[in-house]
Amino acid sequence: MTIDPRARGNFCQLPEQIFSLLSFDRMALYYFDFDENGVAEPDPHGIECSDLAEVRYQAVRALADMTREALPDGDHHKLVVAVRDSGGNLIFRASILFEVEAERLPTGSSPDRLA
């Protein structure tokens, strides 16, 4: 049996409100808040994601982008991406801590001789 997609059956005549409840491809809205060294930047718009795996992927990808932009400017960076759902609940957090520390070399030593 072949169904013609142009045919208008009972399903196509459902009120739009009921049809939207039956939709299985709805995506939830998540907010990705950024923090760099204690300076918070909340996400006012949000991003639609299909599931928590996509939320995780997007957060880690954003964190990698933040890292590329922040480095190598300075010796200390703490970068955080916190993800909230549409109700404001924290559901995911990813962070990177980057620190450069210079070691004191013994007097008369050079870094070339340590290799």
> What is the CATH classification number for the domain harbouring 85?
2.60.40
Query: Does 36 reside within a domain?
Result: yes
Q: Give pLDDT tens digits for 6-53.
A: 444 443 444 444 444 444 457 899 999 999 999 999 999 999 999 999
Residue 76 forms part of a structural domain: yes
Q: For residue range 79-115, list pLDDT tens digits in order.
A: 999 999 999 999 999 999 988 887 776 776 655 554 4
Count CB atoms within 10 A of the CB of residue 98: 14
Task: Determine, yes or no, domain membership for 56.
Answer: yes
Number of compact structural domains in the chain: 1
Nearest in space to 65 (alpha carbons), one of 57, 53, 74: 57
Could you tell me the CA-to-CA distances from 33 to 36, 47, 88, 115 in Å, in that order? 10, 11, 11, 42
Q: Is the pTM higher than 0.95? A: no
pLDDT of residue 5: 39
pLDDT at 80: 96
Domain that holds residue 85: 26-100
Domain annotation covers residue 41: yes
Query: Quick check: is 50 in a domain?
Result: yes
